A and B are shown apart, each in its own frame.
Chain A
């Protein structure tokens, strides 16, 4: 019984280490990369939803609200 529990505990340590390392590597990489994005690109991307390409767009946006 104890042997079984200890065996599975060893596995636990490994899974804990794998999980945290994966998370750390992934998160740090993603953070560095996000911080290095250029302002012009970010501005362009954030403006995307505001231009839907609709022909009646301009008329709509001013008259409806």
Chain B
């Protein structure tokens, strides 16, 4: 046997590890600021760059792609080398991956507060950054598959299968959802409109959770949990079933984010059924992880690494039971748009991703620095303060979510809404928002303790840039016998395995998305629905820039409690010109789908200036800059042309006369404002925003007869 000696690259693992800690702290801090702004709207100090609407996407992107993303790369770069018994394929690509990813994060941290956003959740970054993500991801993929090709271990352990599914799925999801038409360097419009855009977005959004936050972390669990426990996984057979069932089922479940919306019913039902089926593989995986510790629970008492892992795997189990339950239409009718969704997301993020990341960091740093953890006691404190933080975060937010859901639906004995003013439900839950910030602070402090502990560990030890290892060279063309050796052969051939995993992944996407494009012909179009005027387009873009959809949905669901409160329920045909769709996913304020005409223009002006003056107790921040900033009229032609290219029927003549049309409509808004004793110049941003808000949902009011067209 030809024994080869080689070196594992520890430098890249350390780099991603440090980035994980740094960005984790940044991401959590931004989350904490956002949490405080929810009960203290003045906390943004009237600075547009740090209002809730702009930093919410910054928080989600920082935590998902910067904290968990770097944690994922750290774990993969460490475990892949050891599972393949080979150094990474290319050191250059490893570092390209590292620095590319950090630059993307910095670009996100700059552009999102500036308001450059596509508004599509977890895909907010504008098109130049999206292209950069694609390039870096391809570099990672080449490095990843290159390592598989030069591996010395014939068999691919189940963790690698999970990594493979991540590499492929994220590429497909990112590209499909990023199809966008640029209208300038930092502005673009989604290729898809309305219902199609919503389905593509939530097919992406759901599967980003699946293949960025779940599958890579499951792979890491299957590697690090046996390593830390010093024993093999409970059932390898179960892990095979876990993998294939999970990748096959996950991709179908996206439409559960759109239950009771204008999405066709068949897609909603499909999403619900597949979500429920997901309980089986998810719990199979969770039990497999926990049972790996059978007979080793005494270790859990002493070892903080295992403590974090057990809590993480348990949180995974809880979140993957809760998710399917929330996908049941009747449950979703209550929970959707409420803070329950936020609680669900944080159960997964703080418990599963956060704790598993912490456990990996505590496992890796002593090994990378060839020493022991500086303080096990401090790590134990971190565990308990983190766990308390999760409890203090989740319980108030569940209470808040349930309170909101019930108050929105409550009728009095005469059949009227018990709480007709939306604000009543928010005022009720503000104390819960305060408590949530306490929980978040505890969790954040825990992370700081960890950073200090890891720093001291690094100081105490000596970093080992490379770890020497030995393994026999891989013998080629080893004969595989037996009729059931198919899988052994399969996972001996990464390319074939990858293709099969990709097929399993894509079947669900194809069956859902192909009819989606047929739906385009089937959406009952409404004759009175017209494209937005140029001024309204500018107003809509301000609405997107300010992240209004972080708190306001634009989707009246077909419940009596909603039609009573907001008006006629939303129809698919109303959104055919919405590039992108702005249905939103939570309500910290009322739905705006039928906002047009509800209040005079002057009300909107005063409301944007200081919401508290118009609605006492409102938690909406002030937007005084909209009253002073000049409207960006110069770019209107670019914007309209981009929209025309994605299918909005603006004629060349209309685009040519756009500026005159803007002047005309702005003059009307200004005249309306004057009637309400408000003086405003026509070239201010507020004028465009008011024009847009007053348009919302009015098309079908103008001509209520719906017709079908081809």
Interface residues of A (CB under 8 A from B): 1, 4, 7-9, 11-12, 15-16, 18-19, 22-23, 26-27, 30-31, 33-38, 41-50, 52-56, 60-61, 64-65
- The residues of A that contact B79 with a CB separation of less than 8 Å are 49
Q: B303 to A33, Cβ gap below 8 A?
A: no
Instruction: Give the contacts of B205-227 with A (CB-CB under 8 A).
Output: 222-223, 226-227
A49 near B227: Cβ-Cβ < 8 Å = yes
* Given A33-B487, A53-B85, A54-B467, A23:B232 Cβ within 8 A: no
A52 to B515, CA, bound (A): 47
Residues of B within 8 A of A41 (CB): 488
Main secondary structure of the interface of B (DSSP, over half): helix
- The answer to whether B45 has its CB under 8 Å from any CB of chain A is no
Contact partner of A11 (CB less than 8 A), chosen from B85, B241, B515, is: B515
Chain B contacts for A12, CB-based, 8 A: 264-266
B83 contact set on A, CB distance < 8 A: 48-49, 52
* B242 to A, closest residue via Cβ: A34
Q: Which of the candidate stretches B12-20, B152-160, B330-338, B670-678 sits at the interface with the other chain?
A: B152-160
CB distance from B319 to the nearest CB of A (A): 23
Given A15-B511, A53-B82, A64-B366: A34 and B240 within 8 A (CB)? yes
Minimum-distance CB pairs A-B, first 10: A12-B266, A46-B232, A52-B82, A46-B236, A53-B469, A48-B157, A42-B236, A53-B471, A30-B244, A34-B240
* Closest Cβ–Cβ distance, residue B461 to chain A (whole Å): 11
Closest to A39 in B: B237
**Total cross-chain contacts (CB, 8 A):** 128
Say whether, besides A49-B159, A64-B366, A23 and B264 are in contact (CB < 8 Å). no
| Nearest A residue (CB) for B224 | A49
Is A26's CB under 8 angstroms from B237's CB?
Answer: no
Is there contact, CB below 8 Å, between A26 and B248?
Answer: yes
Which B-chain residue is minimally distant from A1 (CB atoms)?
Answer: B708
Q: Does B445 contact A (CB under 8 A)?
A: no
Residues A55 and B468 in contact, CB atoms below 8 Å apart: yes
A33 to B483, CA, bound (A): 11
Chain B 354-398: CB-based contact to A (< 8 A → 1; otherwise 0): 000000000000110000100000000000000000000000000
* Contact (A4, B241) CB under 8 Å given A36-B484, A52-B469, A55-B469: no
Cβ-defined contact, A33 with B486, below 8 A = yes
Are A49 and B266 interface neighbours, CB within 8 A? no
Minimal beta-carbon separation of B88 from chain A (angstroms): 15
Rounded to whole Å, the gap between the CB of B46 and the closest CB of chain A is 49
Bound Cα distance A26, B508 (Å): 12
Min CB gap B198→A, angstroms: 17
Jot down 17 A-B pairs with beta carbons below 8 A, ordered by A.
Answer: A4-B524, A11-B515, A15-B270, A16-B269, A23-B248, A27-B245, A33-B486, A35-B237, A37-B240, A44-B155, A45-B155, A50-B226, A50-B232, A52-B85, A54-B467, A55-B5, A56-B467
| Complex partner residue of B248 from A27, A34, A43, CB under 8 angstroms | A27
A45 vs B233: C-alpha distance when bound (angstroms) = 10
Task: Find out whether the CB atom of B230 lies under 8 angstroms from the CB atom of A45.
Answer: no
Q: Give the complex CA separation of A50 and B225 in angstroms.
A: 10
Chain B nearest CB from A34 CB (Å) reads 5
Question: When the two chains form their complex, are residues A47 and B706 in contact, meaning their CB atoms are under 8 A apart?
Answer: no
With A and B bound together, what is the CA distance between A15 and B522 in angstroms?
15
Interface size, B (range): 35 or more
B504 at the interface (CB under 8 A from A): yes
With A26-B248, A49-B223, A61-B230 as known contacts, state yes or no: A37 contacts B469, CB within 8 Å. Answer: no
Chain B residues engaging chain A, CB cutoff 8 angstroms: 5, 8, 79, 82-83, 85, 152-153, 155, 157-159, 222-223, 226-227, 230-233, 235-237, 239-241, 244-245, 248-249, 252, 264-266, 269-270, 274, 277, 303, 366-367, 372, 467-471, 484, 486-488, 504, 507-508, 511, 515, 518-519, 522, 524, 706-708
Q: Cβ of B708 and Cβ of A46 under 8 Å apart?
A: no
A1, chain B: closest CB distance, angstroms: 5
Q: Which of these, A7, A50, A64, contacts B522 with CB under 8 Å?
A: A7
Q: Which residues of A contact B519 (CB under 8 A)?
A: 8
Residues of chain A contacted by B252 (CB below 8 angstroms): 19
CB neighbours (8 Å) of A7 from chain B are 522
CB atoms of B708 and A30 under 8 A apart = no
Question: Are B367 and A60 neighbours in the complex by a CB distance under 8 Å?
Answer: yes
Chain A min CB distance to B79 (Å): 7
Q: For B157, list chain A residues within 8 Å (CB).
A: 45, 48-49
Establish whether residues A23 and B249, one from each chain, have CB atoms under 8 Å apart when the complex forms.
Answer: yes
Complex Cα distance, B252 from A16, in Å, reads: 12
Give the CA-CA distance A48 to B153 in the complex, in Å: 9
Closest chain-B Cβ to A14's Cβ sits at a distance in Å of 9
Apart from A19-B511, A27-B245, A56-B468, what are 19 other A-B pairs with CB-CB below 8 Å?
A: A7-B522, A9-B266, A22-B511, A30-B245, A33-B486, A34-B240, A37-B240, A42-B235, A42-B237, A43-B232, A45-B155, A47-B232, A49-B82, A53-B85, A54-B8, A54-B468, A54-B469, A64-B366, A64-B367
Smallest CB separation, B526 vs chain A (Å): 11
Once A37-B487, A48-B155 are accepted as A-B contacts, the answer to whether A19 and B244 lie under 8 Å apart by CB is: no
Min CB distance, A11 to chain B, in Å? 6
In the complex, which residue of chain B has the Cβ closest to the Cβ of A45? B236
- The minimal Cβ–Cβ distance linking A39 to chain B, given in whole angstroms, is 9
Q: What A residues does B515 contact at CB under 8 A?
A: 11, 15
CB distance from A30 to the nearest CB of B (A): 5
**Set B8, B153, B158, B303: member contacting A65, Cβ < 8 A:** B303
A33 touches B266 (CB 8 A): no
- Chain A positions within 8 Å of B222 at CB level: 49
In the complex, residue of chain A having the shortest beta-carbon distance to the beta carbon of B482: A38
Residues of A within 8 A of B158 (CB): 45
Give the residues in chain A near B266, CB-CB below 8 Å.
Answer: 8-9, 11-12, 15-16
CA distance A8 to B198 in the complex (A): 19
Bound-state CA distance A61–B228 (Å) is 10
B229 to chain A, nearest CB (A): 10
A60–B372 Cα distance when bound, in Å, is 10
Known contacts A15-B270, A37-B484, A46-B232; is A31 also within 8 Å of B249 by CB? no
Give min CB distance, B363 to chain A, whole Å.
Answer: 10
- Give A40 Cβ to nearest chain B Cβ, in Å: 11
Chain B residues near A9 (CB-CB < 8 A): 266
Neighbouring A residues of B507 by C-beta, 8 Å? 22, 26
- Does the CB pair A46–B522 fall under 8 Å? no
A50 to B233, CA, bound (A): 10
> Contacts of B469 on A, CB cut-off 8 Å?
52-55
Kindly report which residue of chain A lies nearest to residue B486, judged by CB atoms. A33
Q: Cα distance A3–B232 when bound, in Å?
A: 59
List chain B residues, Cβ under 8 A from A44.
Answer: 155
